[in-house]
Structure 1
Amino acid sequence: MSRAKSDTKARAQAVARELFLRQGVRRTSLQDIADRLGITKPALYYHFSSREELVRSIVQPLIEDGDAFIAEAEARADDDPRVLLEGYFDFQFAHREVVALMIRELVALADLGLVAKVLDWRTRLAVLLVGEDPPLADATRATVALGGLSDCVMVFADQPVEAVRAAAVAAALDALGR
């Protein structure tokens, strides 16, 4: 792929991510994106055949990194939940814009099958934290720990990341009773 083609594609993804966050996926047309880029809609079609393909291209790095993180965590089967939770925080933070997009556009992204993948990760992480078929109380603690950790990435985005990471991981460990 030529550098110019790659640059245009990356710029299109950045503009689309911004517009999707501001206006929503369904309310953002390819024409809106093309106009912001200063290119024609056919030029945008050269890079992305549809809005769905563009959305997938934005979410794909999150999916790939998430799959890798989960596989590594499962292979490691670390007994230290702190290591797992710190890694999960770092993963969420690295992809916070896409995570925010997924939260805001849950229905649109669910229609593309992307939300099911994220829910599967949470299930697999919960197994690492509390085991297979845990009592309801333990399963609930894992859900609160993982969900709360993810929420902290979004809610405290204007705070120093290391302070948020330390507080979020500590709170997640507290939720797990550790």
Structure 2
Amino acid sequence: MALELFARQGFEKTSLREIAERLGVTKAALYYHYASKNDLLTALVTPLHEDMDALFARLGDGPVEPRLVFGAYFDVCVRHSGLLLAVLADLGALARIGLVESVLEWRDRLDVLLVGRDAPLPARMGAVMAIGGLQDIAVVLDAEAAAAHREHAVRVALAALAAGASGMD
């Protein structure tokens, strides 16, 4: 419920009173669990951090089959699409709790898994476009539609990766 309000109105414009009303609890009850709106946001972000930690633990340091990387990342993005939409609605608030920095770090780690740290710029461009495109699909489409088209999204990401690699000629 809070994520929906954050995504629609932005973090700064959403009050704890609005969140409490939507949840059908008092503001005091909400404060009992979360001392501040930032604490609530941090709690909402924790599952995404846990999923990304688990993803990197599974993938290791590489090399990793790109299809596996793209599929696993897409699944995480779809699972947390509401949060990612909230990120777009209010980058400032989410930067303050470190989420924007974490997302950029995750994307960099995925890029390195796909093409290596010292890859030429065209190869890195393909990886960046593929990773960003997968994340964007999870945000633009509703979660059910995105999940239904997972395999196509992974194929398109693989094509972007290949196009980047072919640009190195």
Q: TM-score, normalised by structure 2?
A: 0.88
Aligned to 1:37: 23
AA partner of residue 45 (structure 2)? V
4+ long deviations beyond 4 Å: none
Q: Secondary structure at the match of 1:55?
A: helix
- Aligned pairs (5 A) from 1:97-116: 97-116=82-101
Structure 1 residue 36: Cα displacement: 2.7
The equivalent position to 2:153 in structure 1, one of 157, 168, 172, is 168
Aligned to 1:71: 57
The percentage of counterpart residues that share the same residue type is: 45
Output the CA distance in 1 between the equivalents of 2:50 and 2:133: 23
Q: CA RMSD in A?
A: 1.7
Aligned length: 162
- 5+ residue gaps, structure 1: 1-14
Given that 1:78 and 1:84 are in contact with CA atoms closer than 8 Å, whether structure 2 keeps it comes out as no
Matched, 1:149 2:134: yes
Aligned to 1:55: 41
- Structure 1 residues 169 and 38, CA gap change in structure 2 (3 angstroms): closer
Matched, 1:134 2:122: no
Structure 1 residue 120: Cα displacement: 0.5
Q: Secondary structure at the match of 2:162?
A: coil
Output the CA distance in 1 between the equivalents of 2:120 and 2:67: 21
- Structure 1 residues 69 and 58, CA gap change in structure 2 (3 angstroms): same
Which structure has the higher relative contact order (CA within 8 Å, separation 6+)?
2
Using the TM superposition, name which of 32-41 and 108-117 deviates more.
Answer: 32-41
- 5+ residue gaps, structure 2: 164-169
